[in-house]
Structure 1
């Protein structure tokens, strides 16, 4: 059995107990992540499909977010590799505008597309606040349980580090001993 497999077996959680103890944390996660998405999608459903400028704003916003999340680091690295010149200057400037363009698309989308978006914003804020309160209460209730899980993980890491240290000491001693025999 490999060290990785042993570590997994030692630090394995009893998921049934974990979910029983952490249900409030999971409820909080629903309020923080899922409920705001539902509110946003519900607001998006109210947009009239015949408004072309709203569709373009939505497409621009989604494209901008996709770029920022998935492609910006790679593209910036490629641009830095280019020779200094007009193209590099232009592309660097264009890349720095993308976050602002994305925010502009979002502002246009909110301003023109969402009916009663101010209510949705307050709904999102309230939902996320409820989620944070749930997760804080969960931590207060389960502090000892979470501390025990963390201690078990730290102890396993320490034991494996000590074993690796001992293995390296033995290997170094063998190399030193082997080096002296050749002299």
Structure 2
């Protein structure tokens, strides 16, 4: 059995993202990914059993990264308004700074078999644990994790994508969104 090489595995992950964005999920073959990563197709099977497992694992990893990034922007000592603002700005910054990873996650989330395998609430348990702490303190409104996820994340990602696509400065819109979310989520 061949040894695993972290550099090769990272090149494969990057190739998965590039090829999937360029060719779509159905067009992203092992052969195309191997060519993009400059490895043999057999090398990919050292890391993944098949294409479905490969996409699922990389989708889950990249989905999780955005929440890890956001958690680095917040702390349990923040007051409610600071928490909401830091979360929103963290999501926004990650989406803008990691455009390809974000686009890959968005594309995979539209594929039913992948979306079932990776759920937002599974990827961001730490985020919800922090919010639950604020809910128990009577700072953040009580709502389900699914409701919170659908209210908090999509508008920020939408703003980031449209700022990129239309080339405008989002500071005003981001401030408005922060204020709106604070009004919606805080008691």
TM-score scaled by length of structure 1: 0.23
* Rg (Cα) greater in structure: 1
| TM-score normalised by length of structure 2 | 0.23
| Bigger RCO (CA 8 Å, 6+ sep) | 1
Higher helix share: 1
